[in-house]
């Protein structure tokens, strides 16, 4: 046996936080060294942070990244370490992985396939490196190999697929396999999306089998720059078998996952592959050889098994709870906010946000301990003397219920009961007098009384807008982050008041649909995440029909009466926006998926969706930053672009009405 211990070091970085990023990298290297690892793989662009955006093009950013590399290099004595940074070559900027061996830079591998779809814009800053090409790059007066490289370190061959390289049709792994590479490193910055981890598992397993290698996957961790959350995935597979999978969604600065692989066993498995046809002559010059003495190792206990929730029946529920709470925690501390302020209406959306903040505290204390959790928030003065999760919640979260004459006891009781159960501070403000003052001022100036019969939308909106100044005032007084509670279903149809319930610095659930939120709240009420538990106080929330509660009580206002059933709304949105179907095709799909609804009514609802979607793009452009959670996001800044002004589907909807009318008359004749 030829055994080597590999460490995957996932790190929670921040764009251009030079001291913090360096500290995390060095701490992770020290931890891996202490665990006996010889080879350490850190994620893509871990020096600068992945989310530097246009700052990547700053010469100062590039200079500081190079300086950090040179400062880290001497700390890698006795190790093989891979880390990522941007590097300029002949006027072009490249996304690179640097391999350090025994304290020395051995070379830079440049990424060949750039992520330029969805939330990724790498081609805006980086150039793709051509396969098979090598060059020399100068760094502080010395030249190093650069480009498409393979490394022979003490007789063990190491190659690279950098994130997107592994997802491309013509991926580097095919050539690496023919070079008899023993280990492929995949340093990644792969954003979280529901169910994506299972796709990664299949990728890593099949890559290790097809290429006859040990495949090492290292992802970034945490909410790095605001919108994207990295789950910190780490995987090692050898010859089609998973060796280790590390924990995800950690709130620590870094997590090191190690495993021992048998190089001889991997080579024997590769030798049996009929597809393996070794060939090197046409790739002469790409191999960088360096001596390295691996310590003698002995077989070890197998790594710890995967957390039970990762393979249980509620993976999506668990992922939502863990990823958004991690995103909120990192956003809080990286923005140096001193807590959260939330307008808690007693409805599903604001209640979900409150519970997610509770999960920040529960998950943080469970993983880091009370002292460790408070240490990461040590800049918040009011937390200095906190000695329990209840005390932390009371000082971290302020909830405000703002009533008008149209508010009911049900929502007030739901909001107050939940806030008290979670341990949050709770304020009850009656803003009706302010609302009536605004109405009176305008009525006097325009010379008529405003009525619900003539001024419905305006009278609803003034209530929502009147609530914004007071919660902003509280947020300012506390130096806290005001959270908006809009969800994706509302964003799709503009069912929100700009400068009212959309007010806030962060919209943590704007990337998730209302139907899922209601299911998740029911799960939180009945079961909750593994190792955390449920929230019984949600019973008053989940028993209600969703309502904006802006019309008089006698109107019995509900969201679904204003719009359409939420499950239908979400299905229409997916078909129209994610899958890009036109109105007629969406209508026909809904006929199949929702046969319980009258076809004419379905036609009305589909038309309503397209009209509201087209006229409300301006609202989506103004939403507070939100978290990317799946491939159905509507955020125009990172995912779903649509013109603010458009034809509004006028011709398409005329044709839709004709189809509905024809089908209705055809059905009546039958």
Give the C-alpha separation, 88 to 299, whole Å. Answer: 43
Task: Provide the pLDDT for residue 1.
Answer: 67
Q: Which of 182, 186, 150, 179 is nearest to 4 (CA)?
A: 182
CB atoms within 10 A of CB 138: 10
Q: Which of 340, 337, 291 is nearest to 106 (CA)?
A: 291
Give buried/exposed letters for 484-507 (b at 16+ CB in 10 A, else e).
Answer: bbbbbbbbbbbbbbbebbbbbbbb
The pair of structure tokens assigned to 384 is 């200095």
The pair of structure tokens assigned to 48 is 């600068």
Report the alpha-carbon angle 321-326-329, nearest 5. 125
* Three-class secondary structure of residue 636 per DSSP: coil
* pTM for the predicted model, two decimal places: 0.95
Average predicted confidence (pLDDT) for the chain? 95
Specify which residues 157 forms β-bridges with. Answer: 152
CATH of domain 3-293: 3.60.110.10
Task: Provide the pLDDT for residue 285.
Answer: 53
Task: Provide the pLDDT for residue 281.
Answer: 45
Q: Which of 507, 406, 510 is nearest to 460 (CA)?
A: 406
**CATH topology match: 314-543 vs 563-670:** yes
Specify which residues 5 forms β-bridges with. Answer: 260
Give the C-alpha separation, 135 to 138, whole Å. Answer: 10
Q: In what order do the strands lie in the sheet with 481-483?
A: 425-430, 397-403, 340-343, 481-483
* Spans of the chain below 70 pLDDT: 1, 279-285, 665-670
Q: What separation in angstroms does the CA of 496 have from each of 340, 345, 511, 567, 623?
A: 21, 14, 15, 18, 10
Give the C-alpha separation, 40 to 100, whole Å. Answer: 10
* Three-class secondary structure of residue 454 per DSSP: coil
Residues 6+ apart with CB under 8 A from 404: 430, 431, 432, 435, 463, 466
Domain ranges of the chain: 3-293, 314-543, 563-670
What are 598-645's pLDDT values in tens digits?
A: 999 999 999 999 999 999 999 999 999 999 999 889 999 889 999 999
Question: Is 610 within 8 Å of 653 (Cβ atoms)?
Answer: yes
Residues 6+ apart with CB under 8 A from 560: 545, 546, 566
CATH of domain 563-670: 3.40.50.620
Give the C-alpha separation, 224 to 230, whole Å. Answer: 8
Give the C-alpha separation, 266 to 238, whole Å. Answer: 7
Give the C-alpha separation, 561 to 545, whole Å. Answer: 10
The pair of structure tokens assigned to 536 is 């019984």
Task: Provide the pLDDT for residue 284.
Answer: 46
Question: Is 472 within 8 Å of 503 (Cβ atoms)?
Answer: yes
The pair of structure tokens assigned to 556 is 């019995």
Residue 576 has what DSSP assignment? I
Angle, helix 583-593 to helix 566-573, in steps of 10 degrees = 140
Give the C-alpha separation, 649 to 655, whole Å. Answer: 10
Q: What separation in angstroms does the CA of 583 have from each of 132, 268, 586?
A: 48, 57, 5
Question: Is 224 within 8 Å of 50 (Cβ atoms)?
Answer: yes
Under the phi-then-psi rule, with left for phi > 0, alpha for psi from -120 to 50, and beta for the rest, what region is 154?
A: left
Question: Is 632 within 8 Å of 577 (Cβ atoms)?
Answer: yes
Place of tokens 């090191």: 256
* Residue 533 CB-density burial (10 A; 0-12 exposed, 13-18 middle, 19+ buried): exposed
Question: Is 47 within 8 Å of 95 (Cβ atoms)?
Answer: no
Give the C-alpha separation, 89 to 550, whole Å. Answer: 60
Fold classification of 314-543 is: Rossmann fold (3.40.50)
């Amino acid at each position: 046996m030829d055994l080597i211990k590999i460490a995957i070091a996932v790190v929670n970085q921040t764009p251009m936080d030079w001291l913090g990023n360096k500290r995390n990298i060095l701490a992770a290297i020290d931890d891996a060294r202490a665990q006996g690892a010889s080879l350490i793989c850190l994620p893509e662009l871990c020096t600068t942070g992945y989310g530097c955006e246009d700052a990547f093009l700053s010469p100062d950013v590039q200079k500081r990244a190079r300086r950090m590399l040179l400062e880290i290099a001497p700390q890698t004595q006795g190790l093989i370490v891979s880390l990522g940074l941007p590097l300029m070559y002949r006027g072009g900027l490249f996304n690179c992985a640097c391999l350090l061996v025994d304290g020395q830079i051995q070379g830079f591998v440049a990424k060949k396939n750039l992520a330029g779809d969805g939330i990724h814009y790498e081609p805006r800053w980086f150039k793709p490196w051509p396969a098979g090409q090598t060059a020399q790059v100068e760094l502080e007066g010395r030249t190093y190999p650069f480009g498409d490289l393979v490394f022979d370190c003490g007789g063990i061959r190491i190659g690279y697929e950098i994130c997107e390289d592994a997802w491309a049709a013509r991926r580097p792994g095919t050539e690496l396999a023919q070079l008899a590479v023993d280990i492929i490193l995949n340093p990644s910055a792969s954003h979280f999306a529901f169910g994506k981890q299972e796709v990664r598992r299949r990728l890593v397993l099949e890559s290790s089998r097809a290429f006859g290698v040990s495949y090492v996957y290292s992802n970034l961790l945490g909410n790095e720059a605001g919108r994207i959350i990295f789950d910190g995935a780490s995987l090692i597979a050898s010859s089609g078998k998973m060796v280790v999978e590390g924990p995800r969604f950690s709130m620590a600065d870094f997590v090191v996952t190690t495993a021992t692989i048998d190089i001889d066993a991997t080579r024997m498995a590769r030798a049996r592959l009929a597809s393996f046809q070794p060939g090197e002559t046409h790739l002469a010059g790409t191999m960088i050889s360096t001596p390295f003495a691996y310590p003698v190792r002995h077989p070890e206990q197998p790594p710890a098994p995967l957390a039970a929730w990762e393979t249980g029946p509620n993976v999506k529920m668990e992922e939502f709870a863990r990823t958004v709470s991690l995103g909120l925690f990192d956003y809080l501390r990286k923005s140096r906010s001193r807590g959260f302020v939330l307008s808690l209406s007693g409805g599903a959306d604001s209640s979900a946000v409150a519970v997610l903040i509770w999960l920040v505290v529960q998950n943080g204390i469970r993983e880091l301990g009370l002292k460790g959790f408070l240490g990461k928030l040590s800049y918040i003065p009011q937390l200095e003397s906190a000695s329990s999760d209840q005390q932390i919640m009371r000082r971290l979260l302020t909830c405000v219920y703002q009533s008008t004459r149209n508010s009911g006891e049900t929502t007030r009781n739901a909001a107050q009961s939940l806030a008290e159960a979670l341990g949050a501070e709770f304020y009850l403000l009656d803003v009706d007098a302010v609302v009536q003052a605004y109405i009176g001022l305008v009525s006097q100036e325009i010379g008529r009384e405003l009525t619900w019969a003539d001024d419905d939308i305006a009278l609803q909106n003034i209530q929502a807008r009147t609530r914004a100044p007071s919660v902003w005032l509280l947020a300012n007084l506390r130096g806290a982050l005001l959270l908006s509670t809009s969800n994706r279903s509302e964003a799709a149809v503009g069912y929100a008041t700009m400068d009212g319930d959309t007010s806030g610095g962060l919209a943590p659930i704007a990337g998730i649909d209302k139907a899922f939120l209601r299911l998740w709240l029911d799960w939180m009420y009945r079961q909750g995440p593994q190792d955390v538990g449920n929230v019984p106080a949600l019973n008053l929330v989940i028993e209600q029909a969703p309502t904006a509660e802006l019309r008089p009580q006698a109107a019995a206002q509900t969201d679904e009466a204003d719009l359409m059933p939420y499950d239908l709304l979400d299905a229409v949105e997916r078909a129209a926006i994610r899958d890009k179907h036109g109105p007629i095709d969406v209508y026909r799909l809904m006929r199949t998926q929702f046969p319980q609804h009258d076809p004419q009514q379905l036609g009305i609802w589909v038309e309503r969706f397209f009209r509201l979607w087209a006229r409300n793009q301006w609202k989506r452009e103004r939403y507070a930053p939100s978290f990317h959670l799946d491939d159905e996001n509507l955020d125009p800044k990172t995912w779903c672009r649509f013109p603010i002004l458009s034809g509004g589907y006028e011709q398409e909807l005329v044709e839709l009405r004709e189809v509905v009318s024809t089908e209705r008359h055809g059905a009546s004749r039958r």
